A and B are shown apart, each in its own frame.
Chain A
Amino acid sequence: MSKIGVFICHCGENISATVDVVRVAEAAGKLEGVEFSTDYKYMCSDPGQTLIKQMIKEKGLTGVIVAACSPRMHEPTFRKACSSAGLNPYMCEMSNLREHCSWVHDKSEATTQKAIDLVRTLVGKVKYNKPLYSIKVPVTKTALVIGGGIAGIQSSLDIANAGHQVVLVEKDPSIGGHMSQLSETFPTLDCSQCILTPRMVEVAQHPNIKLLTYAELEKLEGFIGNFKATIRKKAKSIDEDLCTGCGTCITKCPTKKIPSEFNTGLGKRTAIYVPFPQAVPNKPVIDKENCLYYKNGKCKICEKVCPTGAIRFDQEDELVELEVGAVVVATGFDVMEPSKFSEYGYGKYKDVITGLQFERLASASGPTLGEIRRPSDGKIPEKIVFVACAGSRDPSKGKPYCSKICCMYTAKHAMLYQHKVHHGESTIFYMDIRSAGKNYEEFVRRAIVEDDVKYIRGRVSKVYEENGKLIVKGVDTLLNAKPVEIQADMVVLATAAVANSGAEELAQKMHISYDAYNFFSEAHPKLKPVETNTAGIFLAGACQAPKDIPETVSQASGAAAKVAILFSQDELSREPVVAVVNRSAPPLYSTCVGCFMCATACPYQAIGEELITNRKGEVIKRVAKVNPGLCQGCGTCVAFCRSKSIDIDGYSNEQMYSEVMALLND
C-alpha cells in the first residue's frame, strides 16, 4: 500500500490567487493511498524542501507529489530533495498547477476543481511508480569538429588546449574557410590572413589535433559521449608522407585555366593545386574533374617531375571510422548566386561582382595583388557603386532575413577603395545602416566623414552597360526624393549570406534540426545558442546564421567550452526513462515474439536483438532488446508492439492506465 505525500504550492500568489489551495490539499488528503497532504507558500524554498524531507522521514512516505509549477522548472529540485531524504528520486512527480491551471484560467470553482483533478490523476500514477536508477554511459574524450574555417579552427584549438583530442575535418584541400579569402577586417582593418594564418599553422602543429583535409562526414551514429563517425577522405592523388610541398608539379601542370575557387573565379589555377600559397596543409591535391590524365588517360607530367615520387593516380577515397564523444558543427556559409537578380546584370557584365569577389581584388594575396582593378579590362575604376541588401531583406525574390555582415563589409569595401584609389568615387545604396557592435558605428561614420563615401538611402532598380560604363539607376528616398543615375566603372553587390548547398543533407546525416533557410537550429534561441537538439552536437559560426568574425569566434569558444564541460566527466548520467522489453518466468522468458516491428518503428535505431540461451548455451528464444544508451523514451515502440511486451520505465502502461482511470472515476 502506497503512502503518498502531496504538497500544494502557492507559488507566491501565482497559484493561490486563482486556485483555492487549501481545498486542494484537503481533497488530496482524502484520496486512497495519500498519507499526508499540505499546502505551503513556496515549496521550492529551503523551508519548503525541508518540509518534504521531514515528512518523508516522519511519515515513511513511499511517493511524493509536488503540485506547483512546470516540471521543466523544478522537477530536478524536488527529486534531489527526495533523494537526500532517502527516497528514490523517480518516486517524486510534479503536478503542474501553474502553467496548466492557475495561469490559464480565471479564479473560479471550476479552476479549483481542475486543480483537484490534476492532483488526483497524478496520485493514480504515482501509486504504480517504481524506483528507477539513472543510466551511466562512458564518454569518449575526443571531439569531432566539422569545418575548418575560423569557427572550426577556434573550437579545435580551445578543445585541444583544454587537453582533449580533436579531429578536425575540412572538405576543401586547405583549412582557412572564407576568412582566408578576406582582405582587411572591420572594424580595425587588420589583415585577415595576418591574424588567421598563425592559427591555421597552430592547428596543424597541435599535438592534440588530427587534421583531415579534403574529407567529409559520411555517417554519424551513436549518442552523446559515444558517437561513431565515418569520414570519407577524398583521394588527393598524392602520398602526403612523401610530398614535401615543393610545388614543382604545380608549375609544370599543363592545365592552367581552371577558375580558382579561392579567388572566386577572378584568378586561375592548375589541375594539381594548393588553393592559396599560405594553405594548411601546404600540399597539393589533384582535381580529378579537370586533370588531363583522369579525363583522357594521358599526361602524368606531375608524376614525371615530382622529385619524391609522391603522385598516386590510383589512390582511392578512404573511409575512416572514428569514435568521438562530441561534435562541433562549423561548416560556415556561402554567398547567394546573384544571377537571379537579372536587373543587376551579374553574369552579364564582367564588372558587376559580388562582395566576396571584391575581397579578393582588395586582398594582397589576390589576383591583382591588392590593386582594385576591374575584371573586364584591368583598368582602375574611377567610380564604384556598392549595392547593399542584394538578396537580403527581400521576401519576394531573395531571403527575408538580414545577412548581418553586409553593412559593415560594404563600408569597409568603400573605405579600402578610397584608401587605394584616392581620386575615386564610391557610392553605397542602402536600406538601413545596421552597424550595431563594438566600434562598428564609429567605423561607418569614419567611412562617411573621413573617406568621403557617399551613402544613398534607396534601392537600385537596374544596372546596364552603355558606352563602356555601367549605368546604375536607383532612387534617393531621403529629402527631395528623386531618381538617381550613376555612370559607374564597377558595381559590387553585397549578396545575401546563405546556407551551404550541402547543409540540409549534412543536418539529416547528424539528425540535427535546421530552419527554413537550411541554417542549423540551436536548441534555444537565447539560453542554448550553441547546443543543438541532439545532445552532444554543438554549433559554431555561420552555419547557424550569418555572423561576423568576432561573433563566430565567441560562439566557437562557447561550443568548445560545452565540449570541455562534457569531457570533464568520466561518465554521463541519463534519465532512465527508456523502453524495456519484459522478461517473464520460464518457460516463456519473455512475451516478446521477436517480430521486430518495434525495430522498424524506432527513430533512433535503439532496438537490437537478444538471444536467450539455456545453461548449455542453446538458443531458446530470439527477442528484441532496447539499447538504453540510444533510446530516447519516445514510446513509439510501445504503441507498435503487438504482444504488449515493451514498456517505458517511468511511463508504463500500468501507470498511464491508472492515471486515466483516476481521472475517469471521479
Chain B
Amino acid sequence: MKIGFYPGCSLTGSSREYNESLLAVAKVAGIELCEISDWNCCGSTAAHNLNRELSVSLPARNLALAELEEMDELVVPCAACYNRLVMTQHELAEKPEIKALIEGKLKMTLRNDIRILNVLQFLEKHIVPRLDELVKSPLTYDVACYYGCLLVRPNQVMKDERFEDPMTMDLIMQKLGANAIDWPFKTECCGAGFSVSKTEIVGELSGKIVRSAVDRGAKAIVVACPMCHFNLDMRRPVIESYLQRKIDIPVIYITQAIALAMGLSAQQAGTQRHFVPVNLTVNR
C-alpha cells in the first residue's frame, strides 16, 4: 500500500517542526510517506469564501495528482488542508455535475476513492497499534489535548459522535504515558485567522484556552493543527497581555509528543523551533 503525503503551506513554513516530527515518527515506524509531487494550495480560507469553484478545483487537483501516483491513502496533517480535501472529496462524490465541471477544468479525471487521513486518523491506524514497542521513554506529565474546530468537523462528513468532546488525542496521549486532563476547552475557537487582522481577539480566545489548561494543572498543551499552534504559541505575548499574567506552558504537536516518547532528541522532534520554550523534563 502506498501512503501519500500532502504537507500544505504551513508545514513548509511556520510549522516546519510538525513536518519534521511527523516524518521522524513515520521513519522510526518504518512507514514511507510519499509527498505528492507538484502539489498546490489547498484553497483554505480564502478560496472557499470567495470562489466556490476554485475552492473545489484546487484540492481536486491535489487529489487527482495523488491518484496519478497511485496512492491508496493520503496523509494531510494540517487541519485546514484536511478539511478542504475531505470536503472536496465529499462534494465530488455527492454532486456528479460539479465533478464533471471540475474534471473538465483540470483536464484530469478522478476516481475519487483515495482514503484521506488527518494526522489523528493516520496515527490511530498506523502508529498507535505499535506504540507498545515504539515508546522508549514514556511521558510523565499532565497534558491538555486541544483539538480546535476543524479536526472533528463538519459532522456530516466526519460522522464523529463526540464532535463536541472528542477523545482520540486524549487516548493516544494516555498510551504515551501522559495523563490527559479532563477540560472544557477542547474544541473552543482559538481565534484562527484573526491572528493577522484582529490579534487582540486571538489574545482573548486563545487566552481563555491557555488559562484553563494551566489552571487545571496541565504541563503542556497538545495540538494537531498549525493554526492552533500558531495562535497558542507565537501569539503568547498577546495572550499574556490579555490575561495580565505570565504563562509559560509549552504547546506541542502530537507528533512531537510521540517523537519524544519514542526517545528521539528535541532536535529530531523540532521542539527548539517554538516561541514558548519546550522544557518538559519535570515529572509529575
Contacts and interface: CB of A to CB of B under 8 A. Distances in A.
Q: Do A and B come from one complex?
A: yes
A517 interface: no
Nearest to A340: B161
Contacts of B184: 345, 462, 464-466, 471
Contact of A342 (B156, B165, B183, B212): B165
Give the dominant DSSP class at B's interface: loop
Contacts of A26: none
7 contacts: A340-B161, A341-B164, A342-B164, A343-B164, A345-B184, A348-B182, A462-B188
A480 interface: no
Interface in A312-361: 340-343, 345, 348
Given A462-B184, A464-B184, A396 B155 contact: yes
A348 B165 CA distance: 12
A579 B109 CA distance: 60
Nearest to B154: A396
Interface of B: 155-156, 161-162, 164-165, 182-184, 188, 212, 215
Given A342-B162, A464-B184, 11 more contacts: A341-B164, A342-B164, A343-B164, A343-B165, A348-B182, A462-B164, A462-B188, A464-B183, A465-B184, A466-B212, A466-B215
Nearest to B167: A342
Contacts of B188: 462
Contacts of B183: 464
B83 to A, nearest CB: 18
A475 to B, nearest CB: 12
Q: Nearest 3 A-B pairs (CB), nearest first?
A: A464-B184, A342-B165, A343-B164
Contacts, number: 21
Contacts of B182: 348
Nearest to A341: B164
Interface string A256-267: 000000000000
A348 B184 CA distance: 11
Contacts of A340: 161
A465 B162 CA distance: 19
A471 B165 CA distance: 16
The residue among A340, A343, A396, A465 with the most chain B CB atoms within 10 A of its own CB is A343
Interface of A: 340-343, 345, 348, 396, 462, 464-466, 471
A627 B156 CA distance: 52
Contacts of A343: 164-165
A396 B183 CA distance: 24
A465 B215 CA distance: 12
Nearest to B156: A396
A466 B182 CA distance: 12
Contacts of A396: 155-156
A648 to B, nearest CB: 47
A336 to B, nearest CB: 15
A589 to B, nearest CB: 63
Nearest to B162: A342
Contacts of B156: 396
A402 B156 CA distance: 22
A348 B182 CA distance: 10
Nearest to B216: A466
B171 to A, nearest CB: 15
A483 to B, nearest CB: 10
A90 B212 CA distance: 80
A465 B212 CA distance: 11
Nearest to A348: B182
B31 to A, nearest CB: 33
Nearest to B215: A466
A471 B184 CA distance: 10
A487 to B, nearest CB: 13
A471 B185 CA distance: 12
A464 B156 CA distance: 26
A471 B182 CA distance: 15
Nearest to B155: A396
A295 to B, nearest CB: 34
Contacts of A348: 182
Contacts of B161: 340
Nearest to B165: A342
The residue among A340, A348, A396, A462 with the most chain B CB atoms within 10 A of its own CB is A462
A462 B155 CA distance: 17
A340 B162 CA distance: 8
Contacts of A345: 184
A431 to B, nearest CB: 18
A571 B138 CA distance: 81
Contacts of B165: 342-343
Nearest to B185: A464
A467 to B, nearest CB: 9
B18 to A, nearest CB: 27
A175 B184 CA distance: 42
A39 B194 CA distance: 79
B158 to A, nearest CB: 11
B169 to A, nearest CB: 15
A136 to B, nearest CB: 56
A468 to B, nearest CB: 13
